[in-house]
Amino acid sequence: MIQLSTELDELIHRWQPSADQLSVIVDRVQHFFGEGDARKQVLFDNELSIRAGEIVIMTGPSGSGKTTLLTLMGTLRTVQEGSLRVLGRELRGMSPPKMVELRKDIGFIFQAHNLFESLTAHQNVRMATQLVGVADSESDGEIKRLLERLGLGHRIHYKPKSLSGGQKQRVAIARGVVHRPRLILADEPTAALDAESGREVVSLFQELAREHNCTIVIVTHDNRILDVADRIVNMVDGRIHSNVLVQRTAVICQVLSDIPLFRSLTPRVLSHVADRMRIRTFAAGEAIIRQGEMGDEFFVIGKGDVEIVIDGNVVNRLGAGSFFGEVSLIKEQPRNATVQAVAPVICFTLMKEDFQEVMGQSASFEEELRRVIFDRQ
Ligand SMILES: Nc1ncnc2c1ncn2[C@@H]1O[C@H](COP(=O)(O)OP(=O)(O)O)[C@@H](O)[C@H]1O
Ligand SMILES: [Mg+2]
C-alpha cells in the first residue's frame, strides 16, 4: 500500500468528482431498527461517495453497521433518513417497481448464500441471467466459463448439498457477477475460501472493475484481500470513521476522470494512463519547462496555477485540470514557451512514449487535444 503525501491527500479532498461519475452517493444517511422504546439508531449521519469503477473495502467491528449500509445501497432496506443515490437514481422514496428495475444492475453476494437446494450450481447461477432477461442459449457459455474460473469446473452440475461451504460461496459469487452488474455488493465474499480461491475471486473483481467499469463494495475482515482496494472505509459504531483512497492509480484516476481531455478514455485506458503517470511538485516561481528546450514530458496540472511565458511575456495562465507540454511532443519541436509555477504546483506527467501510446489508443483523446490546442492559438 502506498502512503500518499499530505499534499496529494489534500488535493484529493478538495477534488469533487461530478455526480455523473459517482455510482454511489451516501448523504447524511441515518438508520433505525425497532419501534418505540426498542427503537435503536444503528447508522449516524453517514457520507460516502464512490466513483464508478472503484473497488471499496468496508471494514469495522461486528455490529458497526456495515451490512445495514450495504443492504440500503442494494435497495434491500428502505432509506429512512438522508439521501442515497445509486447508479444515478435516488433510493429515498423509490417505488417498488423502480427498485426491482434497479436491482438488475446490481450484483449481490451475501453471507447466507441462499442457493436453491433443488438446482445445480449451473442452474443457480442461471437464475441471475434469467432475471435480467438473457436467453439461456446466450448465458450458458459464460456461466460455464465463470464456474471453471472459480475452480468449480468439475462441480457444475452438482447441487448445493454435494458442495462444501467454500464451493457454495463461489457459486454465489458467480451468480452475483454473471449478469455484468454495474454495482456489486459483497458481504464477506471470501470468508469461507482458502487462499487460492480467495485470490481468484479478487482477481475476478479487479477484472470487472478495470474492464467493465463495475463498482464493487466489499465488506470484509479478510486482510489478505485489502490490497485490491482503491478505497478503504472503516466503520465504527454506525459511523464512517475513516475513508481513504489507498491506491496511487486510483487517486490519479479520480483526478483525471474529471478533466475533459481524459473523459473520453475508457476506464481501462484511463487506469493504464494513471499507472504510467508520475507525480511532480514545483515551488512557486520555479520553471517547469523552458522555451527552446527539447521536451519529452507532458504535464497535467493537478493543483496550483502556472504562467505561460513566450519571449519574456506572460501570455496565459492555466490552472488545475489544464495541461501543457504537448506541442513539442506532437510536433517534435523545441518547447515554444516557458511554463512557470505561480504558486506551489502538483502535476501528473507522462513521458513521450506513453503519451504517444495513449494518443494512438484513443482517437477522441487526440481529437480533444487538438481542439484545445487550436482554441489556445
Ligand atoms: N434486523 C435487525 N433488527 C434489529 N437490529 C438489527 C437488525 N440488523 C442489524 N441490527 C443491529 O444493527 C447494528 C448494525 O448491524 P450490522 O449492520 O449487521 O453490522 P455489521 O455488518 O457491521 O456487523 C447491530 O447493533 C445489530 O445488532
Ligand atoms: Mg455484517
Residue appearing with cell numbers 487517486: 251
d(CA 115, CA 127): 10
Number of domains in the chain: 2
> 200 and 87, same structural domain?
yes
Alpha helices in the chain (DSSP H): 6-14, 66-73, 96-103, 121-131, 136-149, 165-177, 195-212, 248-256, 260-263, 267-276, 327-331, 352-361, 363-376
3-state secondary structure of 161: helix
> Residue 253 falls within a domain, yes or no?
no
> 230 and 264, same structural domain?
no
> 281 and 196, same structural domain?
no
Closest residue CA from atom 18 of ligand 1? 67
Ligand 1 mutation target, pool 39, 44, 68, most atoms within 8 A of CB: 68
Question: Is the Cβ–Cβ distance between 273 and 350 less than 8 Å?
Answer: yes
Terminal Cα-to-Cα distance of the chain (whole angstroms): 43
Q: Considering the chain, what is the average pLDDT of its residues?
A: 88
* Dihedral over Cα of 153, 158, 163, 166: its sign: positive
Q: Label residue 222 by pLDDT band (50, 70, 90).
A: confident
For the domain that residue 309 is a member of, what is the CATH number?
2.60.120.10
Closest residue CA from atom 6 of ligand 1? 33
> Residue 128 falls within a domain, yes or no?
yes
Q: Label residue 6 by pLDDT band (50, 70, 90).
A: low
Q: Label residue 112 by pLDDT band (50, 70, 90).
A: low
pLDDT at residue 111 is higher than 80: no
pLDDT for the residue 245: 76
> Could you give the dihedral angle defined by the CA atoms of residues 206, 210, 211 and 212, in that order, rounded to the nearest 10 degrees?
90
3-state secondary structure of 70: helix
> Residue 252 falls within a domain, yes or no?
no
Please give the grid coordinates belonging to residue 199.
485470490
Q: What percent of the chain has pLDDT over 90?
A: 60
**Strands of 313-318's sheet in order across:** 287-289, 338-341, 306-310, 313-318
pLDDT for the residue 166: 92
Any ligand 1 atom below 6 A from CB of 63 = yes
pLDDT for the residue 2: 36
DSSP one-letter code for 277: -
The pLDDT tens digits of the residues spanning 38-65 come to 999 999 999 999 988 899 999 999 999 9
Q: Label residue 7 by pLDDT band (50, 70, 90).
A: low
Of the two residues 298 and 21, the one the predictor is more confident about is: 298
- Comparing CA positions, the residue from 248, 355, 266, 363 lying closest to residue 302 is 248
Any ligand 1 atom below 6 A from CB of 62 = yes
Closest residue CA from atom 27 of ligand 1? 63
Q: Label residue 153 by pLDDT band (50, 70, 90).
A: very high
pLDDT for the residue 136: 94
pLDDT for the residue 19: 65
Least confident segment among 209-223, 270-284, 288-302: 270-284
Taking residues 113-126, what's their average pLDDT?
A: 93
Closest residue CA from atom 17 of ligand 1? 65
> 163 and 63, same structural domain?
yes
How many beta carbons lie within 10 A of that of residue 97, not counting itself? Answer: 8
pLDDT for the residue 118: 96
Taking residues 319-343, what's their average pLDDT?
A: 89
Q: Label residue 14 by pLDDT band (50, 70, 90).
A: low
Please give the grid coordinates belonging to residue 281.
511538485
> 74 and 28, same structural domain?
yes
Residue appearing with cell numbers 463494495: 217
Least confident segment among 135-144, 266-275, 306-315: 266-275
pLDDT for the residue 74: 97
> Residue 95 falls within a domain, yes or no?
yes
> 19 and 120, same structural domain?
yes
Ligand 1 mutation target, pool 26, 29, 31, 33, most atoms within 8 A of CB: 33
Question: Is the Cβ–Cβ distance between 184 and 228 less than 8 Å?
Answer: no
Distance between Cα 188 and ligand 1 center (Å): 15
How many beta carbons lie within 10 A of that of residue 314, not counting itself? Answer: 12
The pLDDT tens digits of the residues spanning 353-370 come to 888 888 787 777 778 777
Give the ligand 1 atom nearest the CA of 219. Answer: 21
d(CA 377, CA 373): 7
Taking residues 202-227, what's their average pLDDT?
A: 90
Of the two residues 16 and 373, the one the predictor is more confident about is: 373
Taking residues 180-194, what's their average pLDDT?
A: 93
> 242 and 168, same structural domain?
yes
> Residue 254 falls within a domain, yes or no?
no
- Inter-CA distances, 49 with 4, 196, 306, Å: 19, 31, 30
Closest residue CA from atom 10 of ligand 1? 33
> Residue 359 falls within a domain, yes or no?
yes
State the Cα angle at 240 between 237 and 242, rounded to 5°: 120
How many beta carbons lie within 10 A of that of residue 360, not counting itself? Answer: 10
Domain that residue 189 falls in = 6-247
- Inter-CA distances, 269 with 67, 211, 245, 318, Å: 33, 9, 20, 25
pLDDT at residue 299 is higher than 70: yes
Give the contacts of 367 (CB within 8 A, at least 6 positions apart).
none
> 292 and 215, same structural domain?
no
d(CA 104, CA 10): 37
> 309 and 224, same structural domain?
no
d(CA 292, CA 174): 57
The amino acid present at 151, given as its one-letter code, is G
Half-sphere exposure of 132 (CA within 13 A, CB side): 21
> 231 and 366, same structural domain?
no
- Comparing CA positions, the residue from 118, 176, 119, 120 lying closest to residue 146 is 176
Of the two residues 71 and 367, the one the predictor is more confident about is: 71
> Residue 100 falls within a domain, yes or no?
yes
Give the ligand 1 atom nearest the CA of 65. Answer: 17
pLDDT for the residue 17: 58
pLDDT at residue 376 is higher than 70: no
Distance between Cα 148 and ligand 2 center (Å): 29
> 284 and 189, same structural domain?
no
For the domain that residue 17 is a member of, what is the CATH number?
3.40.50.300
Of the two residues 87 and 15, the one the predictor is more confident about is: 87
Any ligand 1 atom below 6 A from CB of 42 = yes
> Residue 358 falls within a domain, yes or no?
yes
Taking residues 81-94, what's their average pLDDT?
A: 96
> 274 and 338, same structural domain?
yes
d(CA 56, CA 26): 14
Any ligand 1 atom below 6 A from CB of 64 = yes
Any ligand 1 atom below 6 A from CB of 67 = yes
In Å, the largest CA–CA distance within the chain is 80
